[in-house]
Every structure is written in C-alpha cells, then in structure tokens.
Amino acid sequence: MSSVSRLESPHAVETATRAVVSWRRRPDDAVRAGLLVGELVYALDGQLSLARTPLEACDVARDLPGGFDELVETVVCAGEEPVPLTDVLLSPPVADPDKIICLGLNYRDHASEAGLEAPEVPVLFSKFRNSLCGAHDAIVLPRTSDEVDFEGELAVVIGRRAKHVAASDALDHVAGYSAFNDVTARDIQLRTSQWTAGKALDSFAPMGPGLVPADAVADPQDLWIETRVNGELMQSDSTGSMIFGVADTIAYVSSLMTLMPGDTIATGTPAGVGFKQEPARFLRAGDVVEIAIAGIGVIRNPVVAEP
Ligand code: MG
C-alpha cells in the first residue's frame, strides 16, 4: 500500500488553460459558449458565431484542419474583446448530460487504501444533473453528512453516439476532457453496498473549467492529476495509473448502454482521499478544494455549509 499522508508534488501542474467553456457574467444571464485562454474568455457565439455550446465548439475544432489550435488562433485573432476570467461565472461545460457515469476503485493504490481488491471489471455508479456545478461554484455540505470527502478525477465527455465500440475506436467518440471532483459523503456511501446515496447529493460534481477538445489531448493516459485542500497536496498521480483506461472504459460502457453526446464519464480517483488521510481529512465550511490536471485545467471550489 502506498503512503497517502502529506505528499510532496513531483509535478507542478501548470494552471494555464485553453478550453471551451460555458460562461455568463451574472447569475441571471443566459449561459454562453466561450473560449478560455489563460485568464481570458472569448465569446464563441459573438461576431464569429462559431458555437452555442462547448460540445458544438468541440465539433467545430474537430472539423478544422488545424483542430483546436486553429480554433484558438481564429478566435484570438478575430479581435473581439475578451472578458477577464475573474469577471465570469463558469457553468459546467455540459449542462444536461443524459448520463453521468462514474468509475469506482479505478486506481490500484486507491482500491488498496480502501482495503478492497482491484476490480476485474469496471465498477460503475451514477450521479445526476443535480450534482453538476461549475469550476468555481460552492460545494454545499449537506446537513445529513459529517464526512464529505473529495475525489479528484479526469472526466471524459462523449461527442459521438457509441454502442458496442471497440477500444481501438473508442477515443474517436470523445468530445473532450475536464477536471472533475467526485465529491462523496463517506458516511452515507458506506451505509449500503450501493453508493449512489452518498455520491449524488446536490453540488457533488464540480466540473470544468471547460472541455479541452479531444484532438488537443495527445494521450488521456498521460495526464498528471493533483488534488489540494487549502493549498495542501492530497492526491498526486498520473492517469496512466488507471486500471481501466479511457478507451477500455468507453468500450465497456458502450457494450451495456448507448452513449450519447454530452454523456460524462468520471474515470475514478487516485490514492489520497480524505477518509484515508491520517488523521481523516473531511471537508469543512471555509475549505477550498482544487483539482488540477495538466493540460486540462483547474477547478477551485469553496466549501460552504447547507443554509
Ligand atoms: Mg470517484
């Protein structure tokens, strides 16, 4: 079993990001599609009218000869004034996925720290749209739990319908990738053998900052992922440590159900979750949780008590 107490980061995950995002200036505004480049957001539904949603933007990028790089260059050079990220509210990049499918125990060290065998087939559970929130939105501690925990994960968003796809073709069905926090109420989760009750609470799926289109991610099994609570490193691993990689996971899930554009798969968490820290480190009001994935971006969510 690996040591999961306080880690030193071997990889400073950079925070500069290029991604397609859902954004608005004020809570009452309509959500728009945008392009995040570093600390600036460019409208994608403005003069250029390139896309109304991040999923559409991934389609646009896929059809350009130069892919996402060409989309970024086109938008940045178009001359429309960007908005500082600090003046923007980010929404989850997919507002209403048909499915949010999560993998449990998909990193060997995490299965080991949980005292469980590494699974022989993917362990699946579900979240729903009520859990989704944006990259900077609050995680709300429910009155019904004293043990709310973090799980930093890579999320995969489907771009093209997939049913019975081979692993060798599976990545062609991906629109893009996001950082995801599979927030979990451990006390509720572990009361029963099925995990949904402890996983599907409101605000328990922060996601973003946007989607990084698939063509801009050379290898989804070569991304460094880190989780920090109040700046302290809790989880640090490569997505190469997954037991079931993204392609195998899509192939497996597509053998069970039809995957549709927007469907979101959270691919499991590395070792270092709060309930296996010594002492256990559950989330408290006032904490800030960051999930950072190299090349994908950072989500940074404050933790608040349920009013
Ligand atoms: Mg998880």
Structure-model confidence comparison of residues 79 and 74, the more confident one: 74
Check: CB of residue 176 under 8 Å from CB of residue 213: yes
> How many Å is the Cα radius of gyration of the chain?
18
* Cα(212) to centroid(ligand 1), Å: 21
* Cα(75) to centroid(ligand 1), Å: 35
Check: CB of residue 113 under 8 Å from CB of residue 2: yes
DSSP 8-state secondary structure symbol assigned to residue 216: G
β-pairing verdict for 174-181 and 224-229: unpaired
Mean pLDDT within 71-85: 93
Mean pLDDT within 159-172: 98
pLDDT at residue 16 in the model: 60
* Cα(73) to centroid(ligand 1), Å: 35
CA distance 303 to 289: 8
Check: CB of residue 185 under 8 Å from CB of residue 202: no
Closest CA to 2 of 290, 266, 241, 245: 241
pTM of the model: 0.95
* Cα(188) to centroid(ligand 1), Å: 15
CA distance 124 to 101: 7
CA distance 133 to 282: 20
Given a cut of 50, whether residue 5 has pLDDT beyond it is: no
pLDDT at residue 168 in the model: 98
DSSP 8-state secondary structure symbol assigned to residue 80: P
* Cα(90) to centroid(ligand 1), Å: 22
Mean pLDDT within 109-118: 90
* Cα(269) to centroid(ligand 1), Å: 5
pLDDT at residue 224 in the model: 94
Closest CA to 251 of 134, 135, 89, 122: 122
| Weakest-pLDDT range from 3-17, 24-38, 224-238 | 3-17
Q: What are residue 36's phi and psi, to 5 degrees?
A: -90, 120
Structure-model confidence comparison of residues 172 and 45, the more confident one: 172
Closest CA to 296 of 256, 238, 248, 229: 238
pLDDT at residue 79 in the model: 85
* Cα(210) to centroid(ligand 1), Å: 19
| Weakest-pLDDT range from 3-7, 110-114, 147-151 | 3-7
pLDDT at residue 48 in the model: 79
pLDDT at residue 1 in the model: 35
pLDDT tens-digit map of 226-258: 999 999 999 999 999 999 999 999 999 999 999
pLDDT at residue 50 in the model: 87
Tokens encoding 216: 């801009």
| Weakest-pLDDT range from 111-120, 163-172, 232-241 | 111-120
β-pairing verdict for 132-133 and 205-213: parallel
pLDDT tens-digit map of 46-72: 877 889 999 999 999 999 999 999 999
Given a cut of 70, whether residue 2 has pLDDT beyond it is: no
pLDDT at residue 6 in the model: 42
* Cα(134) to centroid(ligand 1), Å: 18
Percent of the chain with pLDDT strictly greater than 90: 89
| Weakest-pLDDT range from 42-51, 79-88, 174-183, 272-281 | 42-51
* Cα(104) to centroid(ligand 1), Å: 5
Mean pLDDT within 160-174: 98
Q: What are residue 206's phi and psi, to 5 degrees?
A: -60, 140
* Cα(9) to centroid(ligand 1), Å: 21
Work out the burial of residue 27: count CB atoms within 10 Å of its CB; fewer than 13 is exposed, 13-18 middle, 19 or more buried: exposed
CA distance 1 to 3: 7
* Cα(64) to centroid(ligand 1), Å: 34
CA distance 156 to 40: 24
β-pairing verdict for 264-266 and 152-158: antiparallel
Give the CA distances from residue 39 to residues 104, 129, 199, in Å, rounded to whole numbers and listed in that order: 33, 27, 31
* Cα(178) to centroid(ligand 1), Å: 14
pLDDT at residue 49 in the model: 87
Looking at every residue in the chain, the average pLDDT score rounds to: 93
Mean pLDDT within 72-85: 93
* Cα(280) to centroid(ligand 1), Å: 17
pLDDT tens-digit map of 185-222: 999 999 999 999 999 999 999 999 999 999 999 999 99
Tokens encoding 267: 């691919």
* Cα(180) to centroid(ligand 1), Å: 9
Is residue 218 classed as helix, strand or coil in its secondary structure? coil
Give the type of residue at 234: M
